[in-house]
Amino acid sequence: MNLQEQYENLLGLNLQELENLAAGFGQPRYRGRQIYHGIYVRRARDLAALSDLSREFRSALASHHSIAYPKVEREFASHDGSVRYLFRLPDDNRVETVYMPEEDRTTLCLSSQVGCALDCRFCFTALLGARRNLTAGEIIGQVLAVTTAQNVPRGARLNLVFMGMGEPMLNLPQVTSAVAILADPKGVGVTLRRITVSTVGIVPRIEEFAQISVRPKLAISLNASNDQQRSALMPINQKYPLADLLRVCRAYPLRPWEHITFEYVLLDGVNDSDEDARRVADLLRDLRAKVNLIPYNSGPNLPYRAPRFERVVAFQKILTDRRIPTFIRISRGQDIFAACGQLSLEGQVA
Ligand code: SAH
């Protein structure tokens, strides 16, 4: 067994769990609050840095616990400023996170699972198959490891998107626990409205997600304009076809400031025709929706290509003419294989 596995990681524990932990050591409960503040606000990276605890308590803690960030195994820096981080986890699984700085904000693309079970035909992560869920600590660890490495200060405009490896709705308990700590003003302190969970559309999980108290924004990977096409691209559509998916979207309890984002990966000659655009507009007509068009990011071993840019713009116009706010998303980090759907752990650099 790897050394780290013998120690229970404090990262991922919430306030109550840390208070209970302190009490278990015969300490007052507020010591738990000090640990919470230390690891999430001050970003202490080891127990020694929890300087408001007594030395005795720290050494007692150290016999079973640690603060373990995921280890950066490699980083790939893109010409556009984004960086793909390859992390090694204590069990030697690997997972990726992408850092994308912009002028007025920073976006981190987080992974929720090692590999993915869903087998979307165009996605490189799918080629890995399902491995395991990440823990809340491993999700929060991605955020803390990258923000400390890149000196992103607390309070900076930070967006978190669960659009890396994995299907967050198939790891909802850990994603929910992580988000509660990430969005806690007394925890990591990321604005809740700046956190987005993206899903292929697991219908019962979306219903569950709708009920959680600290609920981030929802994005749905639509990627097709009818069931036949969607099932061919995303096998999960056979289980949860468009009618079911759109039914939960219509029932979804949107907050006043909110809309549902639909992502649509444009694949040349597959789902990018004018008729597709019109059908998408029909599907979304009675929803408070926004569409992000993502020209496909190609790579080895998969046959798809992006359409010509004029096609992307024509597709957008059909939607905007029908009053659906539609944006073209050019993925960052294509030269380091860090773009949407390209995360695949093979360590390639184009
Ligand atoms: N499993 C979740 C989150 C991960 S994928 C989901 O499917 O939503 C994040 C987004 O990247 C999805 O919208 C997916 O359709 C898109 N995507 C996957 N592979 C892609 C590729 N090669 N090029 C562009 N977008 C891709």
Determine if ligand 1 sits within 6 Å of the CB of residue 234: no
Ligand 1, atom 1, lies closest to the CA of 167
Tell me how far apart the alpha carbons of residues 99 and 340 are, in angstroms, rounded to a whole number: 12
What is the rounded radius of gyration, in angstroms, for the C-alpha atoms of the chain? 21
Note the pLDDT of residue 4: 46
Note the pLDDT of residue 298: 87
Note the pLDDT of residue 350: 35
Domains annotated for the chain, with CATH where assigned, are 3-66 (1.10.150.530), 71-336 (3.20.20.70)
Cα of 101 from ligand 1 centre, angstroms: 20
Cα of 328 from ligand 1 centre, angstroms: 14
Determine if ligand 1 sits within 6 Å of the CB of residue 202: no
Catalytic residue of the set 19, 96, 138, 263: 96
Angle subtended by helix axes 136-149 and 172-182, to nearest 10: 40
Q: How far is CA 46 from CA 59, 72, 200, 332, in A?
A: 12, 16, 37, 33
Determine if ligand 1 sits within 6 Å of the CB of residue 163: yes
Q: Is the pLDDT of residue 2 over 60?
A: no
Q: pLDDT tens-digit profile of 210-249?
A: 999 999 999 999 999 999 999 999 999 999 999 999 999 9
Tell me how far apart the alpha carbons of residues 194 and 163 are, in angstroms, rounded to a whole number: 13
Note the pLDDT of residue 287: 97
Tell me how far apart the alpha carbons of residues 100 and 71 are, in angstroms, rounded to a whole number: 19
Q: pLDDT tens-digit profile of 121-140?
A: 999 888 888 899 999 999 99
pLDDT range class, residue 57, cuts 50, 70, 90: very high
Average pLDDT over residues 301-307: 92
340 among known catalytic residues? yes
